[in-house]
Structure formats: structure tokens, C-alpha cells
């Protein structure tokens, strides 16, 4: 059973390029590109919602980059919003700390081999004019090169190697991933936090512990994750956990019964092992 969406896997590929890590060379980071926001939400002057997956900035390249990870055909309505996006929209939204009066922006679509033809055909048909990158077996290739940033063009024109099994520790889960996959991380976090002696734990505490880039996620995405985690914890009242953890009505935080810590710990470990056995991680191209 697949628990982690391919969109989340692709996001991890590109996040890994922008953060120091031992898995592969962070070429964007090394050349001054910074991951500014995950799943930013803002509205253009027409009132349309703009919601790319990743947002990067480079003060040196004077470039703001929106990345859309796409596993399928280009959605025409979404593409038109991107195509009609203006610098004024970005300035008025205050979505970036980059000085947009002296900078440019661009949209890049990212895909894997299974969706490459759909994206390029859609671009040929409608002439969107976006750059398209494709994750192949072990590298990233440019399928449509309309890259504006000079340094970015140099970075992406060279072969970028990626590992066969993509590390998912950068962005371990998102709102589109299966609840069971998210729950495994939540139980691991509960174990760590309770081991620190915390009797009351909030949803924000859990997400900051389990998601390294939680504070980089836009408020809308955070709220979606909070809702999912809240439901996972609420479900505990209906099963074996009901005697060891409960939601406090006043603080909305969750309280672990200190007298039942050993039972709580054993229940968490059992849940984690159950989820681990469901499906090991495969290559990004084996799904």
C-alpha cells in the first residue's frame, strides 16, 4: 500500500537541493537559492488563489521561483493563473522578503517520467511558456528551458544527480499523504515528547517535533496538518489509548496520564511497528 504521495516525494527532491544534507549535493543552496516557503497561499489582483508547492528566492540572482510538483497533466485553470501572475500581484501579497521592485519571478513545473509527456504536450498545446524539469532514474533533466535566473539556468543546465531512494526526512508528510503514514510520525513524536516528561502536549508541539520544516509551511498548510493530527489524536479516545491520553477542554492540549506512561509507550511502539510493516519505501519510480 502506498502511503506517501509522489508529489511529496518530488517536493523532497527539490527541498534537498536547497538544504545542507548528507544525501546529495544541495546545488541550489550552494549557489545562494533559499527555500522561502512551502505551499504558499496568496491571492492575485483578480482574487484568484495562487498556491504553488515550493517558493525559492535568490538575492544575488534577483529571482523568485515558484515550483509546482505535478504528477499528471497540467491543469489549465491553474496554469492560466500562473501565466497571468504579475509582479504587482507578488508585491501586494507581501509573500516574499525579496525586493520585487528590483527582481523577477518565474514558474517551474517539475514531474517524473510517468507524467513528462502529459506536461510537455499540455505546454505545446496551450503555449504556457513555463520551464519543465523531470526527475529521471537518478538525475534531473530540463524538458522545457525557459529559465530566467542566470545562476539558476547554470545550475539546472548541469547534470544534477539524485539518489535512487529519495530521503523523505526534509518534508516527511503533507496534507495529501495517507493518514496512516502521518500517524506513524505522530506516534514517534508523542514518544519523544512524553519521554521529555511533558504531560500536556499540543498539536503544534507534535508537528514541530515531527516535521523539520513545519515553520516554513504557509499558515493554510499548517492548519490542514493541524486538523489531520487533531483527528488522529481524537481517535485515540475511541481505542486502547482512551485511558492514557485525553484532550483538555480548556487548553485544547492532550494530557498523558503519568501513571499509565508505560502502557502509553507500549501502545505507541506497537502502532509504529504496525505502520512500518505496511510498506517499505521504494524508489520514486516504482509506484
- Does the pLDDT value for residue 285 go beyond 50? no
Are residues 48 and 86 part of one domain?
yes
Are residues 233 and 139 part of one domain?
no
DSSP-derived pairing of the beta strands 42-43 and 131-135: unpaired
Are residues 107 and 37 part of one domain?
yes
- Does the pLDDT value for residue 24 go beyond 50? yes
Let me know if residue 234 belongs to a domain.
Answer: yes
- Does the pLDDT value for residue 2 go beyond 50? no
Sequence-ordered list of residues with C-beta below 8 angstroms from that of 124, at least 6 positions apart, any chain: none
Q: How far apart are CA 40 and CA 30, in angstroms?
A: 23
Kindly tell me the burial class for residue 95, based on how many C-beta atoms sit within 10 Å of its own C-beta (0-12, 13-18, 19 or more).
buried
Per mean pLDDT, which range of 13-27, 87-101, 178-192, 268-282 is the poorest?
A: 268-282
* Distances from the Cα of 254 to the Cα of 56, 90, 120, 234, 265, angstroms: 36, 39, 48, 9, 15
Are residues 190 and 153 part of one domain?
no
Is the separation of the CB atoms in 92 and 133 below 8 Å?
Answer: no
Of the candidates 8, 24, 278, which has an alpha carbon nearest to the alpha carbon of residue 164? 24
pLDDT in tens, 180-232: 889 989 999 999 998 877 778 999 999 999 999 999 999 999 999 999 998 88
Let me know if residue 171 belongs to a domain.
Answer: no
Residue 239: CATH number of its domain: 1.10.10
Are residues 212 and 183 part of one domain?
yes
Of the candidates 29, 274, 37, 78, which has an alpha carbon nearest to the alpha carbon of residue 171? 37
Task: Domain count for the chain, please give it.
Answer: 2
Are residues 257 and 226 part of one domain?
yes
pLDDT in tens, 42-77: 999 889 999 999 999 999 999 999 999 988 889 999
- For 265, the domain range is 179-278
Q: Which residue has the higher pLDDT, 275 or 108?
A: 108
Q: Which residue, of 161, 188, 212, is where some domain finishes?
A: 161
Kindly tell me the burial class for residue 239, based on how many C-beta atoms sit within 10 Å of its own C-beta (0-12, 13-18, 19 or more).
exposed
Amino acid at each position: 500500500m502506498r502511503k506517501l504521495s509522489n508529489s511529496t516525494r518530488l517536493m523532497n527532491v527539490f527541498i534537498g537541493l536547497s538544504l545542507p544534507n548528507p544525501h546529495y549535493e544541495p546545488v541550489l543552496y550552494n549557489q545562494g537559492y533559499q527555500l522561502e516557503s512551502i505551499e504558499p497561499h496568496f491571492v492575485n489582483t483578480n482574487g484568484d488563489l495562487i498556491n504553488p508547492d515550493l517558493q525559492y528566492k535568490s538575492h544575488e540572482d534577483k529571482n523568485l521561483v515558484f515550483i509546482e510538483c505535478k504528477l499528471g497533466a497540467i491543469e489549465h485553470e491553474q496554469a492560466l493563473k500562473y501565466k497571468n501572475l504579475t509582479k504587482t500581484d507578488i508585491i501586494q501579497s507581501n509573500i516574499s522578503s525579496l525586493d520585487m521592485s528590483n527582481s523577477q519571478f518565474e514558474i517551474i513545473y517539475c514531474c517524473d517520467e510517468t507524467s513528462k509527456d502529459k506536461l510537455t504536450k499540455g505546454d505545446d498545446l496551450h503555449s504556457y511558456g513555463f520551464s519543465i524539469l523531470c526527475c529521471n532514474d537518478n538525475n534531473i533533466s530540463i524538458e522545457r528551458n525557459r529559465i530566467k535566473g542566470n545562476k539558476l539556468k547554470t545550475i539546472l543546465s548541469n547534470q544534477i544527480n539524485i539518489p535512487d531512494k529519495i530521503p523523505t526526512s526534509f518534508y516527511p508528510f503533507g496534507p495529501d499523504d495517507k493518514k496512516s503514514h502521518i500517524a506513524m510520525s505522530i506516534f514517534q513524536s508523542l514518544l519523544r515528547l512524553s519521554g521529555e516528561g511533558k504531560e500536556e502536549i499540543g498539536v503544534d508541539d507534535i508537528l514541530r517535533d515531527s516535521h523539520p520544516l513545519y515553520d516554513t509551511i504557509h499558515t493554510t498548510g499548517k492548519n490542514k496538518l493541524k486538523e489531520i493530527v487533531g483527528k488522529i489524536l481524537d481517535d485515540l479516545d475511541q481505542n486502547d489509548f482512551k485511558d492514557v491520553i485525553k484532550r483538555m477542554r480548556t487548553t485544547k492540549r492532550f494530557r498523558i496520564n503519568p501513571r499509565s506512561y508505560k502502557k502509553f509507550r507500549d501502545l505507541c511502539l506497537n502502532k509504529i511497528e504496525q505502520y512500518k510493516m505496511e510498506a517499505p519505501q521504494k524508489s520514486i519510480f516504482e509506484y
